[in-house]
Amino acid sequence: MNRISFCLLVILTTGLMGSSFTIGKLGLAYSSPLLLVALRFTLAGIIMATIVKILNKPHPVKAIDWVWLVLIGLFQTAFVMGCIFMALRTITSGETSILTFMNPLLVVVFGTLFLKSRYHIQQWIGVLLGFIGVFLTLGSHLDFKVGTILGLLSAVSWAIATLLIKIHGFKFDTYVMTAYQMLFGGLILFLGSLLLEETFFKMTTQSILILLWLTIAASIIQFSIWFYLLQRGNQERTSAFLFLAPFFGVLTGWFLLHERLTWSILFGGLLIFAGIFLVNWKNNYEKEIEKTDENNERLSES
């Protein structure tokens, strides 16, 4: 893939990722938050599950593997997206996207605490920059709104899901895992909607268009492009471009919802992006070690 095509696809997938916060906030005028996100991911999961079945992608055989898929769906889709859409009721889409995409920073912290992973100095500098950025984004004070806490919880849940995928993801075909974790997460969100909110959905042309955008463009198309890029390019370098998603979240919030951009949000967001970039970036020495490990694994398998 040439560099221009790669850049265009990166901008498209991260733009769709970031726009989902703004479009989701628009959708809250027509639906209760948990029901909206439940409809989004159940529909996306059904469509993708049908596609992977038609393409005869390998499905899990053991019952315990289906349990892991349910758990990944619980944290990656149900908790993350449930918290995001609940947060959108009290804070801006830009603030929500910035808080949610703290998850790569939390992966470093949780990986160190629970998996005994080791990280280099630039990654810890990235974590420090990220947390300073969050402090600035919140206006340099600790007067958290409910939405702020939910935004932070979405990042925590995403980090947990990332670690679960790191441990168990190798057992699944990427697209099969994506399809069923969305489907299971969506079904869990339906249950949450029935238990935790006064459920409503207004059937209008605009509400249907919003739901279709969230389901097809911001879920199926966005995930498909993202996994295509991960398969075709260097995964670490590609993942570093995730910092563009909250940028597009802030930008679309400003453009479509006329959300106010303050210097603390902009500068705090830049620090978070820089932190995420440092956490994902690997130096030449680390890359050589990974190549050596991969070559040794291939030799041992053969």
Q: Is the pTM of this model over 0.85?
A: no
Identify whether 128 is part of a domain.
no
- Single-letter amino acid code for the residue at 50: T
Identify whether 166 is part of a domain.
yes
Better-predicted residue by pLDDT, 4 or 78: 78
Quote the pLDDT of residue 282. 61
CA dihedral angle for residue 161, residue 163, residue 169, residue 175, rounded to 10 degrees: 40
Better-predicted residue by pLDDT, 266 or 139: 266
- Of 26-40, 143-157, 187-201, the range with the lowest mean pLDDT is 143-157
Better-predicted residue by pLDDT, 287 or 32: 32
**In which domain, by residue range, is 226 found?**
3-100+146-263
Identify whether 247 is part of a domain.
yes
Quote the pLDDT of residue 132. 81
Identify whether 287 is part of a domain.
no
Q: Per-residue pLDDT averaged across 96-125, rounded? A: 79
Rounded (5°) CA angle 160-180-15 = 70
Per DSSP, the three-state class of 259 is coil
- Of 20-34, 63-77, 221-235, 243-257, the range with the lowest mean pLDDT is 221-235
Identify whether 245 is part of a domain.
yes
CA dihedral angle for residue 32, residue 83, residue 49, residue 215, rounded to 10 degrees: 50
Identify whether 256 is part of a domain.
yes
> What digits encode the pLDDT tens for the residues 193-222?
999 899 999 999 999 999 999 999 998 898
Chain length of the chain: 302
Q: Per-residue pLDDT averaged across 169-175, rounded? A: 86
d(CA 245, CA 247): 5
**HSE of 170, CA atoms in CB hemisphere, 13 A:** 2
Q: Per-residue pLDDT averaged across 70-81, rounded? A: 92
Identify whether 272 is part of a domain.
no
Identify whether 199 is part of a domain.
yes
- Of 24-28, 72-76, 250-254, 275-279, the range with the lowest mean pLDDT is 275-279
Better-predicted residue by pLDDT, 244 or 163: 163
Cα distances from 138 to residues 80, 256, 262, 266, 279, in angstroms, run 20, 22, 11, 11, 22
Quote the pLDDT of residue 297. 46
Number of structural domains found in the chain: 1
User: In whole numbers, what is the pLDDT of the chain averaged over residues?
Assistant: 82
Quote the pLDDT of residue 235. 53
Residue 285 pLDDT greater than 50, yes or no: no
